[in-house]
Structure 1
Amino acid sequence: MYKMMMNIMVKTAGKALEKKTDRTPEEEDMLDMMLHGGERVKIQNLQGVISWYNGKR
């Protein structure tokens, strides 16, 4: 179900982003991820969340 929903999202939002001529760097990154996939999560970016989680135990 999730995969089908993402395919619809890529078709609609992806096509709109492709047509846009003045994309921001964030939009460029989003379009690249939609078309080619990829991993955008880095452990360095999660340090705040990890620290918060460890403090809640």
Structure 2
Amino acid sequence: MKKLHGAYRFMMNVMVKTAGKGLANKTDRTPEEDDMLDMMINGGKRVSLQNLKAVTEWYKSVY
């Protein structure tokens, strides 16, 4: 969130406080929810070529 500015930073702070508290208090989180909570608290990059493989294959098939 350090790279965000203005309204985007404010909106993300609100989201982390509300959704983050809800996820943190949840006892039976799924692995996806654990990943989301970790990303909200610690930040991180989730975009990679491997994660975009399905999108790039679809794009190549259409165009």
* Deviation by residue 1:1-54 (Cα, 9 ceiling, x = unmatched): 111100000000000101001100000000000000000111122234335546
Distance 1:26 1:48, change over 3 A: closer
Structure 1, 12-21 or 41-50: larger mean CA deviation = 41-50
TM-score between both structures, scaled by the size of structure 2: 0.74
Superposed CA RMSD: 1.5
Hey, what does 1:21 align to over in structure 2?
27
Percent identical: 64
TM-score between both structures, scaled by the size of structure 1: 0.81
Distance 1:46 1:20, change over 3 A: same
Match of 2:43 among 16, 37, 42: 37
Hey, what does 2:15 align to over in structure 1?
9
Which structure has greater helix proportion? Answer: 1
Structure 1, 10-19 or 43-52: larger mean CA deviation = 43-52
